[in-house]
Structure 1
Amino acid sequence: MPPPIEETISTLFTGAADILDIPPELHAVAVERYEDVGNFLVLNGGTEWSVYPQGSFRIGTVIKPPTSSTEYDIDLVCHKDITKDDTTKEQLKTEVGELLQAYDEFKTEEGNGDGPALCVEGRRAWTLTYPDQGFHLDVLPAIPDGDRPPPRIRLTDTKNHFWQYSNPKGYSDWFQGRSEELRRTLEVKARAAGVDMVPMWTARSTLQRMVQVLKWHCYLHFAKDVGDRPPSVLITTLAAWAYQGEEDLFTATLNAVNGMPEHIDKRDDKWWVPNPAHELENFADKWNEPNERQEKFRSWLGGLRQTLLEAAHSTRRDTASVIGSLGGAFGEDLLLKSAHRMGLEVKNPIGAGAGRSTSARVAVTTAAASGGATGRFGAVPDVRTRSGRAG
C-alpha cells in the first residue's frame, strides 16, 4: 500500500528543496569571494568598512536560478561606520562603486582568475558578476541608522530622495526565532562544532525548505511576468509569519499559503508588509504604485493553494500520479529527480514513454515526511484592513 499522499508530497518537496539549494562547494566559493571583497575594502578604504551577507544567502533559503541562463543572486551589505551627516546617498554610492571598481582592476592585474568579470551599477546596489561560477554579488551600500539602535541601517536608492531603512541582521534573528526546529538544529550543530554559534545556512529546517518551495513555484508561475513577480523577501516574511511550527513539509506549506494573507496590512489606504526587524521598511511598497502586483500575488497564492488541495485529495496515490498532479506547477523533471533522491518508486512516469520505468527503494523515511496533512482546508482569507503592525 502506498504511503499517505501528504507524506509523499512532503518527501517530494524535501528532495526538491535539497536539489534547488546552492551546492556546498559553490557556497564556499561565494563566501571566499565576498570575504575577499571585504578584506580589500578594509585595506584600501579603512577599518570603518565591513561586508556581510543578507537575505536568502544569510538565512539559508537560496534556490537555484529558474533557467540555465541566470545566476545565483547573492546579496551583501557594504557597511561604512559613519553617520548620515558625514556623507550623502550619492556620495556613499559613488564611493562604494569606486572601491569595487578598484577591486575589479586589482584582481584583473593580479591575474589569478578569481576576480569579477564586471562591476555594474544598479538602482540600490553594485553588482560584481562571476559568470563562470554561476553567481553574482549584489553589494548594497549602507551606513548605520543613527536614529535607531544597531544593527539597523540606512540604504542608498537612486529612485528615492530619502535614505531607505533596513536591518538584515535583525531580520535573520527574527527568521530564526520563527522556528523552534531551526533553533534546535543550529544549537546541535554548534555543540558538535564546539562553538557558540554556526551560520543559519548550515541548517535545513522545515521553515527553510518551505520558503524554498514557495519561491520556486513563484519563479515558475511568473516566468513570463518577471516584472510583477513578488520579491523573495515578501514571500519569505509572510511565510515565516504564517508558519506554525509544523515539521511536516506539506502541512507547513499548505497552512502557510492559507495564513499568509492574514499578515498583510492596509495603513492609510496603503499596502504594508513591514520588515519585522525595522518597522519603517515596507516589503509591499511596490503594491502602492499604479500596477496589478497585489492582485497578481493573491492570484498566485490562490492557484498554489488549489494545486496543493487537488493533489492531496486525489484518489491516485502512487508517486507517478502525485508527480503528474504537481508537475505542471513545480516542474516534472525536478520532482522526478527528487523522487529518485528520496528513494521513492516511480513506475512509468509521465514523459518516460511507453514501457519505460524507473524504480528505487519504496521508502519514505525523511524527517519532513513524518505525518499527514492537518491544515485548514477553507478558503484563503481576504486581506485584513487594519492599522498597526502585522503579527
Structure 2
Amino acid sequence: MNAYHQTRDNTDTPEQMLSMLLDGAVEVLDISPDLYETAVGRYEEVGNWLAENGSPGWEIHPQGSFLLGTVVRPHTETGEYDIDLVCRLPLHRDSTTKEELKQRVGDQLVAYRRWKQRRGHTDGPDSLEARRRCWTLGYLGFHLDVLPSIPDEDHQPTGILLTDKKLHKWQHGNPLGYADWFRERSELSRALLEKRLAAGVQQVPQHHIRSTLQRLVQILKWHCMFFFGDDTDNRPPSILLTTLAGRAYRGEDDLFTAVRNVLAAIPHFTKKIDGQWVVPNPAHKGENFADKWNEYPERRQAFRAWYDEISAIMDNLALTESKGLDVVYAQLIKSFDPEPVKHSFARYGARMKAPTGQRMGATGLLSETATGPRRKPTTYYGQHSGTRG
C-alpha cells in the first residue's frame, strides 16, 4: 500500500504511520537544499578551475552518497557533510605513479586556494589537507574530498584507478557505473511514481526529493552511525550497506515495508566463495566490498551485531504499530538518534491535526518519492590555459 495515501476514514494505516515517521526523521539528517546548492557551486568552481588550469582532459565529478542522493549528516560533533569528488586525469597507468598523480592534483588545488585568497574571495576553502587517498577542501558545514584517479583501460568507459599511499597496487573503482546501477534499482517503482505525478502531485526539484530506496539506504546508514558511534573501524562502510540494500530492494513503495523486506533479504547477498566473504561491486565485478571481513573477521561480527539489532527494531515496530504513537515513539527514541525522532513526531502530530486536503506528504515537500540520484553528474573538460593571474 502507498505510504502517502490515507485510508477511507482519513486515518493512516500503521504501516503508513511508521513509514512517515521514519521518513520524517531521516529527512532531518539529509543535506538541506541551501547547503546542497552551496556545495554544488563550490565543487563546480573547483572542477572548472582544474579543467582550465590543469593539463587538457582533466575531469571532475561527484561520487558516493552525494551522487546517489543518500547523504546522512555524520554522527560527529561538527556534523560536517562529507562530499566525495573524483578528479580524473587522462594518463596511462605506466606513465605515472600513485604518488606523482596525487601530488599533481594537490599542486593544482594549492594553486586554486591561493588564487581565491589573492582575489579576496570569501567563498574559498578554509583549509586544504592531504589524506590517505584524497585531498580535502574544508568549507563551513561540509568538506570536499578530491580523489585523484586515471582511466582504467580494462574497464571502459567509466572505470577508474585510484591512489592509496598504504597500498602498493592501484585501486579499482567505477562510481559513475555504480550510480547508473543504483538509479536503475531506484526506478523499479517508476510506474507508481508516474501515476502519482499524473494525478497532480506538485512538481519540485529532483534533488529535493527521494526515492524509497534512497530513503531506505539513509535509514540504514543513520542507524549504523548511531549504533557504532565512534567505533569507525568496525562500522560497515556506506558503500557496503548501499549495495546490499540495492540488491535486496524489489520496488516496494511503502518505506517501512521496504526496510523490513530488504533486511530479511540481505543475508542472501552476503556469501562465501572459496572461503572468502564476497559482496561484489555491481559496476565492477573485480571489486569486493566485503574484503575487509576476510582480513578482519571482527568486522564481519560487528556487521552481524548491527544487522541483528536493526532487524529486531523493525520487527518490534511491526508488533507495536497498532498500540499507538506513544509506544512507537518510545521504541524509536531508544533505538535511534533522539533529535530527528522528536522532530518527526512533532511534524506528524501537526500533520494529523491539519484538514485532510492540506496534509503534506511524508517528505514535507508536497511530493511523492523520487527516482534515482539527485542529478546527472557534471563533468568538466578544459584546455590548459595557464594559471590565472
Q: After TM superposition, is the score higher than 0.5?
A: yes
Of the candidates 142, 146, 149, which is equivalent to residue 139 of structure 1?
146
Q: Is the 8 A contact 1:144 1:151 kept in 2?
A: yes
SS for the counterpart of 1:140 is strand
| Alpha-carbon shift at residue 54 of structure 1 (Å) | 0.4
1:67-119: CA deviations, max 9, x gaps?
A: 34231000000111221122111110111111111112221222111111111
Equivalent position amino acid for 1:337 in 2: H
CA distance in structure 1 between the aligned counterparts of 2:355 and 2:235, rounded to whole angstroms: 38
SS for the counterpart of 1:128 is strand
Q: Does 1:221 align with 2:227?
A: yes
Q: Which moved more, 1:164-173 or 1:43-52?
A: 43-52
Q: Is the 8 A contact 2:24 2:362 kept in 1?
A: no
Show the counterpart of 2:341.
335
CA distance in structure 2 between the aligned counterparts of 1:201 and 1:207, rounded to whole angstroms: 14
Show the counterpart of 1:17.
26
SS for the counterpart of 2:88 is strand
| Alpha-carbon shift at residue 188 of structure 1 (Å) | 10
| Alpha-carbon shift at residue 300 of structure 1 (Å) | 0.4
SS for the counterpart of 2:247 is helix
Q: Which moved more, 1:109-118 or 1:209-218?
A: 109-118
Show the counterpart of 1:78.
87
Paired-residue identity, %: 48
Q: Residues 150-169 of structure 1: matches in 2 within 5 Å?
A: 150-169=157-176
Show the counterpart of 1:349.
none
Residue 201 to residue 87, structure 1, CA distance change in 2 (3 Å): farther
Show the counterpart of 1:277.
283
Q: Is the 8 A contact 1:119 1:126 kept in 2?
A: yes
Q: Structure 2: which 5+ residue stretches go unaligned? A: 1-8, 199-203, 364-389
Q: Residues 138-287 of structure 1: matches in 2 within 5 Å?
A: 138-180=145-187, 183=190, 201-287=207-293
SS for the counterpart of 2:149 is strand
CA distance in structure 2 between the aligned counterparts of 1:205 and 1:216, rounded to whole angstroms: 16
1:219-267: CA deviations, max 9, x gaps?
A: 0000032221111111011011111110000010011111112112323
Give RMSD over aligned pairs: 2.7
TM superposition outliers: structure 1 runs of 4+ over 6 Å: 185-191, 362-365
CA distance in structure 2 between the aligned counterparts of 1:87 and 1:199, rounded to whole angstroms: 42
Q: Which moved more, 1:284-293 or 1:228-237?
A: 284-293
Show the counterpart of 1:320.
326
Q: Does 1:54 align with 2:63?
A: yes
Q: Is the 8 A contact 2:26 2:340 kept in 1?
A: no
1:192-230: CA deviations, max 9, x gaps?
A: xxxxxx997454111000001110000000003222111
CA distance in structure 1 between the aligned counterparts of 2:244 and 2:254, rounded to whole angstroms: 19
| Alpha-carbon shift at residue 331 of structure 1 (Å) | 2.4
1:360-388: CA deviations, max 9, x gaps?
A: 449787479xxxxxxxxxxxxxxxxxxxx
CA distance in structure 1 between the aligned counterparts of 2:153 and 2:324, rounded to whole angstroms: 58
| Alpha-carbon shift at residue 295 of structure 1 (Å) | 0.7
Q: Is the 8 A contact 2:101 2:148 kept in 1?
A: yes
Equivalent position amino acid for 2:19 in 1: S
Show the counterpart of 2:376.
none
CA distance in structure 2 between the aligned counterparts of 1:201 and 1:275, rounded to whole angstroms: 25
Q: Is the 8 A contact 1:59 1:201 kept in 2?
A: no
Total equivalences in the alignment: 347
CA distance in structure 2 between the aligned counterparts of 1:254 and 1:318, rounded to whole angstroms: 20
CA distance in structure 2 between the aligned counterparts of 1:181 and 1:267, rounded to whole angstroms: 29
SS for the counterpart of 1:292 is helix
TM-score, normalised by the number of residues in structure 1 = 0.82
Residue 266 to residue 52, structure 1, CA distance change in 2 (3 Å): same
CA distance in structure 2 between the aligned counterparts of 1:56 and 1:259, rounded to whole angstroms: 22
Q: Is the 8 A contact 2:59 2:87 kept in 1?
A: yes
Residue 344 to residue 4, structure 1, CA distance change in 2 (3 Å): farther
